[in-house]
Structure 1
């Protein structure tokens, strides 16, 4: 009897576990169904609103350096100057990318805005991540400028780069600067070697445990991409220089961008995955591109450029020395430098407002 009782207890336990598994599976299936239905409804609403509010709101396919690439072109009127957006990352089209139809009326009121998920990510993903190089992305940026010049003859064309995108704006301007009315760099990178030193100095003043301080010292002493990536992570988590932790309510627009890709009428579920792909897999993907970006230094190119340049940087940003930008603006008539208070490398609500106003003023 005791043996039978033990068997019955085991069977009862298995039945309970099975019920829990079944309930969890049903709950997850219902949640997925609700999310997909809400996504379909929101996608239609976003698309209809964008098309209604803009004379131009369309996806186009262009050939850039031999690769077919999708771009989103959007503007209130057909006759506006062109503003080409280059997102950050590397390979993270989470703020400025193809998935944000209708999201920046402050800019589409004044420009035909061209959003491009840089080759290898988002809507322009490639499985061969090691074939993605900085040289080819620069070549594609130049081809994108040429394509817009051919498509919209006589229009002013501006290049807007955010974070890693600023490397592309500066590099491309060395080749197609004559076709540009100006470049705008938000959160500019001069070099990641500069950023490494600035990150270390910023973190030295933070209150840390013994073990964190040891990681800080060891990462700095490595003086390589892996060491810098660790410093970058520490800056993100322990300071308000990357994300503005000082006031979470100041980041609602940014948080909306991270969610917004799910409701993009231009992104499939695979595109959403590929928008976050580089972040999910970290340093194990795009290793060639990451190393090239780590070794790049844009200071001399910025000093030599004659195209009008607007530099926008949050106070305390670690990716480029503010003193260098101030000196550049003081020495060169074509350079304007604006520091953004109470913001971070990832802009706050006020930061986005300052950026959008500055871009419109720059193009007047």
Structure 2
């Protein structure tokens, strides 16, 4: 009997501690949301959420900038479906860019603030169509302004594909951590991992995953690259990642995200390959090399050294052959940018738009 009482007391204390912790977090979130919102509105001529209809779907976008006369920079995050760096939940977080641009953040259809329960209805074709509609909407809303498309990781598929349709409306596209083809990336990941010191078990998993030559095998290679190298996340210098880690936590204090939006920002990562299977397969099969080679719009390609999603040699050759292509490698960074990486990326984007 006494044992049961002790257990119940322990359960009650634990429950009370969890309730107090939740209360502290929610109160701190409410205070921080207000501070972030007030500061962003005070420091910018424009800092507002808008609802636009893109390919027939109502979508929330955040528009922010210190001057309405600045050119427009549309941000397309990576993932797929992970608006954790360049999504709608980062009001006030990019003063380096909002000083020079009207920055437009859009959680791509199906995630974050624009989540849909029917994840299998989300297709690459419709996201590309929505990107084109977003460009047209910004052209109509800010006539005479230059418009740039910025894509990160999977977002570079959208920038490149959309530019084939609305290239005449664009002053340029910027591809950070660009994907040319995930089948190419599969080979690059395999070769990168072959140089790592791994156990016999890991070597066997590596070979089996590579031999699969499918999306599931590639996902395993991505996981191994993330955990065993500094090509995805810069493990070799953890203090160099403080800005990135802040972004992962920052969504909790976003004045534009409900608790459900936060969950939906991480939804694709939580459920992995069991959600958005159509979209994931389409991205796996996409090949953007021909489009990049045919585009005439100015293109800035930014890639960390050792990134596995596109060949640096291919980008160098493309830049050498085409006057509209500029290629810059970012030192001391990874596919997920370091502090120095963010600084170099923002500087390159500003210089490109001058």
Please tell me the TM-score bracket, short chain as reference: over 0.9
Scaled by the length of structure 1, the TM-score of the pair is 0.97
1:162 shift after superposition: 0.1
How far apart are the structure 2 equivalents of 1:17 and 1:320?
Answer: 56
Structure 2 residue 159 is matched with structure 1 residue 169: yes
Could you report, residue by residue, the CA deviation over 1:20-39 in whole angstroms, capped at 9, with x for unpaired residues?
11001000000000000000
> Deviation at 1:78?
1.0
Distance in 2 separating the partners of 1:312 and 1:234: 23
Secondary structure of the structure 2 residue equivalent to 1:90: coil
Name the structure 2 match of 1:16.
6
- Which of 183, 205, 214 is the aligned partner of 1:193? 183
Q: Which residue of 1 aligns with 2:81?
A: 91
Which residue number corresponds to residue 28 of structure 2? 38
Distance 2:8 2:258 in 1: 34
- Cα shift readout 1:229-285 (whole Å, capped 9, x = no counterpart): 000000000000000000000000000000000000000000000000000000000
The yes-or-no answer on 1:233 pairing with 2:223 is yes
1:310 to 296, 300, 304: 300
Distance 1:85 1:78 in 2: 17
Please point out which of 42, 57, 69 is paired with 1:67.
Answer: 57
Which residue does 2:15 correspond to in 1?
Answer: 25
Higher gyration radius (CA): 1
Secondary structure at the aligned position of 1:266 is classed as: coil
Map 1:1-364; keep pairs closer than 5 Å.
Answer: 11-364=1-354
Which secondary structure does the structure 2 equivalent of 1:107 belong to? Answer: helix
| RMSD (Å) for aligned C-alpha atoms | 0.3
Aligned-partner Cα distance in 2 for 1:28–1:162: 37
Partner of 1:174, secondary structure, is helix
C-alpha separation in 2, matches of 1:12 and 1:219:
54
The runs of 4+ residues in structure 1 deviating greater than 4 Å are none
| Distance across 2 between alignment mates of 1:314 and 1:58 | 32
CA–CA distance in 2 between the matches of 1:21 and 1:272?
A: 29
2 CA distance for matches of 1:15 and 1:196? Answer: 57
Cα distance in 1 for partners of 2:167, 2:41 equals: 32
1:186-218 per-residue CA deviation (whole Å, 9 max, x = no partner) reads 000000001000000000010100100000000
The number of residues matched between the two structures is 354
